[in-house]
Amino acid sequence: MARMSVFRFSALALLLLSACCWAYNEVGPSQEDDSAELSVSELLERANSNLIRSANDPILTEGDIAIASEDERNADPCTSQGCKWGKNSDGKVYVPYYITNHFSDREKAIITRGLESFSSFSCIRFRPSRSSDRDWLSIESQNGCYSFVGRRGGKQVVSLARRGCLYHGTVQHELLHALGFNHEQTRSDRDNHIKVLLQNVQSGMEHNFRKIATLNQGTPYDYNSVMQYHRTAFSKNNQPTMVPIPDPNVSFGNAKEMSRNDKARLNTLYKCCECPHEHIIKINIHIHMYSTLSLDLIPLCAVSLLQKNHFQMC
């Protein structure tokens, strides 16, 4: 009887241990309880803080942008050499990707949801890579959250570390980098909207606030962009490193997913509103017709093309 009890206890212990291991592999490392309350920029800063970089890791600038050399710190691939992924004859932009086996099924589902979200508001279509693809995104759990800006050629790593990076908004943020977009606070017209307080910035982090010659796609500065960092980003004393101007009380850096302007400038960069071949119907439209409408009721293509006084329908 004693032996039977010991056997049952051992079997139960083994079963519980297996269940714990399964739960860890399925859910991944536990995330902090307050994560749901944090903005994308806060999640990224927390995930990438205090990481020990190895010789094999890419150089990071602005917290999560990977660069191949120091010469790229002030460059914008979209203006210096071209960064876009190619458009297919059907008007769609197909971006191949591969998700490595670092992730559990649940974690892959979070990544896939972020990838698929782009198809609901743009011509971007992320699709699984094929052996014939020359360029593709390799989505991996590396040292923190990071991405290169724009299409680089060949295998291009987007790191979404299992601990800290697996949220819908952070996935969108890193994919926007891979599609060619920089952070909002480094926009060429930044000084008209944000005052940077370098006296509060951590020593050695000042370069994260340098302006670059960005392509802003005719969209206004967006305090609600998923690419805008929060008020105390890279602060050494918990004091603001950025203050909106002329109104310092404007809220910013709180986005948890892509904003309307984020979507509009993506559509503009990739010409998502231009129809393939000759099947184009141009409808003249006056801007004042939109003056009484909520922005939520205006098609994204129309928003991005309002200044042209027309939009296009396929």
Say whether 230 counts as a known binding-site residue. no
In sequence order, which ranges of 62-206 are alpha helices (DSSP H)?
77-80, 105-117, 168-179
**Which one is catalytic: 42, 62, 107, 174?**
174
Tell me whether residue 177 is annotated as binding: yes
In this structure, what DSSP letter does residue 88 have?
P
Q: Are 299 and 310 in contact (CB under 8 A)?
A: no
Q: Please list the residues that pair with 281 across neighbouring strands.
A: 313
Phi, psi of 192 (to 5 degrees): -85, -10
42 catalytic, yes or no? no
Say how far apart CA 172 and CA 164 lie, in whole Å.
14
Is 286 annotated as a binding-site member? no
Q: How far apart (Å, rounded) are the C-alpha atoms in residues 44 and 174?
A: 10
Query: Strand runs (DSSP E) across 92-238, as ranges?
Result: 93-99, 124-128, 136-140, 145-147, 155-160, 194-196
- Known binding-site positions for Zn(2+): 173, 177, 183
Q: Annotated catalytic sites, by residue? A: 174
